[in-house]
């Protein structure tokens, strides 16, 4: 269904069907490896010593109470924190043999690791130009760009709705359509990873279900990391789930537990995870 030029990365189980299959048994490959990572906003430490192996072509969810550092971790994966003056990192995040935290090739990195935000924020230009934006940036030829636009919109399950009005403004779409446009925009240059920070929190239930369906199809081709406050959503779409929590003493976020989504939700090892899942705090 999701067609894309293959990136040559070996794949363990790209024909994943069941959202809840026990991925660890299938021995999924690690695509992004977070090793001993800490983060500071100025003097304030926001993350402490995180270790996380993000599996290839799976959906990994980051859950936890507000302020525990989910967005911070997600933004470390494509270096969006570079914008924050005075920020500092420790540890490393390996991706394709390179340390994301140390690389100087930001354009390349962000080509490979795309991002979708809570607010879709279409650019003030046509639907076509929104999707073609990144390919143009890379200087692709006309034919290649047109193909990329169609493929991305198809992959984002938006093509049928907009194919007759590609020249209409991106802002003329509904909220759910705008979010799918944002996904199309992010996958236009063929990334390997898509980061999503609460992509459905501004959408109605129908639009949310559509995006969730989409994620299950996209994960045949892409690796997805999603931050969500919606526990049912994590249970529905994620193969793996990481539970984070703020250390009450130091005020920084920590990883409490990481595992298969079914395990996290049905037999959590840590009592704090269980408390959070069952709604006793957070």
Ligand X SMILES: Nc1ncnc2c1ncn2[C@@H]1O[C@H](COP(=O)(O)OP(=O)(O)OP(=O)(O)O)[C@@H](O)[C@H]1O
**In the complex, which residues of this chain contact ligand X (CB under 6 A)?**
41, 46, 66-72, 84
Question: Residue 266 interacts with another protein (CB under 8 A)?
Answer: no
Crossing angle of helices 142-155/175-187, nearest 10°? 130
- Beta strand 30-41 pairing with 87-95: antiparallel
Question: Residue 140 interacts with another protein (CB under 8 A)?
Answer: no
268 touches which of ligand X, Mg ion, another protein, none (CB within 5 to 8 A by kind)? none
Contact 127/150 with Cβ under 8 angstroms? no
Binding residues for another protein restricted to 194-253, rule: CB under 8 A: none
Nearer residue to Mg ion within complex by CB, 46 or 131: 46
Residue 95 host element (H or E): strand 87-95
The HSE-up count of residue 219 (CA atoms within 13 Å, CB side) is: 31
Question: Residue 103 interacts with another protein (CB under 8 A)?
Answer: no
Nearer residue to another protein within complex by CB, 114 or 259: 114
Phi, psi of 62 (to 5 degrees): -110, 120
Nearer residue to another protein within complex by CB, 182 or 237: 182
Total count of residues recorded for the chain: 282
Question: Residue 114 interacts with another protein (CB under 8 A)?
Answer: yes
Contact 219/191 with Cβ under 8 angstroms? no
Q: How far apart are CA 268 and CA 231, in angstroms?
A: 14
For the CB of residue 10, give the shortest distance to another protein in the complex, in Å: 25
Q: How far apart are CA 60 and CA 241, in angstroms?
A: 6
For the CB of residue 47, give the shortest distance to another protein in the complex, in Å: 20
For the CB of residue 182, give the shortest distance to another protein in the complex, in Å: 7
Quote the DSSP letter at residue 220: T
Question: Residue 80 interacts with another protein (CB under 8 A)?
Answer: yes
Question: Residue 29 interacts with another protein (CB under 8 A)?
Answer: no
Nearer residue to another protein within complex by CB, 31 or 186: 186
Quote the DSSP letter at residue 104: S
Distance of CA 163 to the CA centre of its chain: 26
Where does residue 205 rank: exposed (0-12), middle (13-18), buried (19+ CB within 10 A)?
A: exposed
For the CB of residue 80, give the shortest distance to another protein in the complex, in Å: 7
Question: Residue 71 interacts with Mg ion (CB under 5 A)?
Answer: yes
What is the chain's Cα-based Rg? 18
Quote the DSSP letter at residue 126: B
Per CB under 8 A, the list member of 16, 48, 71, 78 interacting with another protein is: 78
Nearer residue to another protein within complex by CB, 131 or 256: 131
Question: Residue 175 interacts with another protein (CB under 8 A)?
Answer: no
> Which spans of this chain sit near Mg ion (rule: CB under 5 A)?
71
Residues that bind another protein (CB under 8 A): 78, 80, 83, 85, 106-111, 114-115, 117, 119-121, 123-125, 133-134, 137, 168-173, 182, 185-186, 189
């Amino acid at each position: 269904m999701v067609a894309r030029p293959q990136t040559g990365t070996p794949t363990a189980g790209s024909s994943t069907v069941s959202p809840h299959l026990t991925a660890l048994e299938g021995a999924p490959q690690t695509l992004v490896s977070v090793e001993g990572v800490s983060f500071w906003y100025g003097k304030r430490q926001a993350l402490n010593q995180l270790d996380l192996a993000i599996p290839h072509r799976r959906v990994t969810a980051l859950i936890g109470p507000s302020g525990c550092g989910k967005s911070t971790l997600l933004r470390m994966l494509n270096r969006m924190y570079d914008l924050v003056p005075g920020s500092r990192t420790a540890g490393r995040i390996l991706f394709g043999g390179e340390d994301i935290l140390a690389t100087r090739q930001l354009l390349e990195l962000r080509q490979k690791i795309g991002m979708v935000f809570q607010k879709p924020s279409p650019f003030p230009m046509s639907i076509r130009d929104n999707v073609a934006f990144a390919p143009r940036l890379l200087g692709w030829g006309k034919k290649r760009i047109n193909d990329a636009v169609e493929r991305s919109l198809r992959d984002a399950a938006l093509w049928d709705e907009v194919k007759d009005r590609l020249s209409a403004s991106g802002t003329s779409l509904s909220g759910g359509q705008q979010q799918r446009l944002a996904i199309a925009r992010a996958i236009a240059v063929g990334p390997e990873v898509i980061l999503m920070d609460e992509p459905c929190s501004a959408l109605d239930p129908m639009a949310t279900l559509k995006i969730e369906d989409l994620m299950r199809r996209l994960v045949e081709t892409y690796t997805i990391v999603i931050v969500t406050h919606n526990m049912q959503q994590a249970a529905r779409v994620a193969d793996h789930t990481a539970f984070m929590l703020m250390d009450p003493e130091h005020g920084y976020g920590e990883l409490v537990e990481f595992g298969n989504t079914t395990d996290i939700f049905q037999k959590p090892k840590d009592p704090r995870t269980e408390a959070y899942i069952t709604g006793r705090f957070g």
